[in-house]
Amino acid sequence: MLHLLCPKETTEVSYRLNQLKLKMADFMARRVDRNRFPKVDKTDIINALGEANGYSTYLEIASGRTGHKFGKISEKIFPGKKRLLYRVSCDYSDGLPLHYHSDSETGAELLKDLVDANHCFDVVFVDPHHSYEASKVNIDFAYRLIKHGGVMVIHDVNPPSGKVTGEIFANKRYWCGQTYQAFLDFIREKTELEYIVVDTDWGVGIVFSADGEKPDIKGKLPGKSNIPIPENPQWNFFHRYRKSLLRLISVRKFWHHFVC
């Protein structure tokens, strides 16, 4: 028996279908980037760089409230992976290996000890406490810890909104702080270096030497910006010129240039 929907029932079905479409659109938006390429996070970028270039040594620099994905760094690719945390207590444990730790604000003393002992790594990942001071200290020391031909990877350098860039952790869920400012100051000071930022996971920066044999790059990367970067750049300047300043590339282009 055929049942014809009355206008009220038709409206309700249409509403439910639209709601379903919205949910599916949201589901997909959280899984693909603006170019419809599957989204990846910072650890996917690091593992891909390691596998593509035969890297094997890895150091993660983070605070007690950042990082959080050390377990996703492939032990097959990085069998000797290590982690340094600061702003943690002497008895801190999250169930994952911890090789160096300190309750200091920036971890500077631990990082200096590593530099003085001539330690170096293929990949140094920086996911700092997001104050300007901690970010700049971590980035400066991390650069001194990478092997020739290695890379430094930095998280949270492309914050989506000024609301998450305050000096203190005011947003209840997200905080990128001033890491983007420290990153811009670093690339302003180190003009001889190459860098790129992958437009995913709040901005994943990749810094490497221009004269190294690695990482192996296919094709031509976006050119460096000719816009002068002021010291301690502020949000409005960054937001206006971010694509050019960061040399932003999509995940798809990262895969093309660095992996495939």
> Are the beta carbons of 41 and 30 closer than 8 angstroms?
no
Distance of alpha carbon 221 from alpha carbon 9, whole angstroms: 55
Q: Which residues of 102-120 are buried (b: 16+ CB within 10 A; e: fewer)?
A: beeebbbebbeebeeeeeb
Distance of CA 113 to the CA centre of its chain: 25
> Are the beta carbons of 222 and 211 closer than 8 angstroms?
no
> Are the beta carbons of 82 and 246 closer than 8 angstroms?
no
pTM given for the model: 0.84
- Cβ neighbours of residue 93 closer than 8 Å, sequence gap 6 or more: none
Strands 204-209 and 146-155: antiparallel
Q: In the prediction, which pLDDT does 38 show?
A: 57
> Are the beta carbons of 142 and 173 closer than 8 angstroms?
no
Joined tokens for residue 99: 């090789």
Q: In the prediction, which pLDDT does 44 show?
A: 94
- pLDDT mean across residues, the chain: 87
Distance of alpha carbon 71 from alpha carbon 79, whole angstroms: 12
pLDDT digits (tens, 9 = 90+) for 20-40: 555 544 444 455 555 555 568
- Cβ neighbours of residue 191 closer than 8 Å, sequence gap 6 or more: none
Q: In the prediction, which pLDDT does 54 show?
A: 95
**Element counts in the chain: helices (H) and strands (E):** 7, 8
Please identify every stretch of the chain with a pLDDT value under 70, giving residue numbers as ranges: 1-39, 169-173
Q: In the prediction, which pLDDT does 40 show?
A: 87
Q: In the prediction, which pLDDT does 32 show?
A: 57
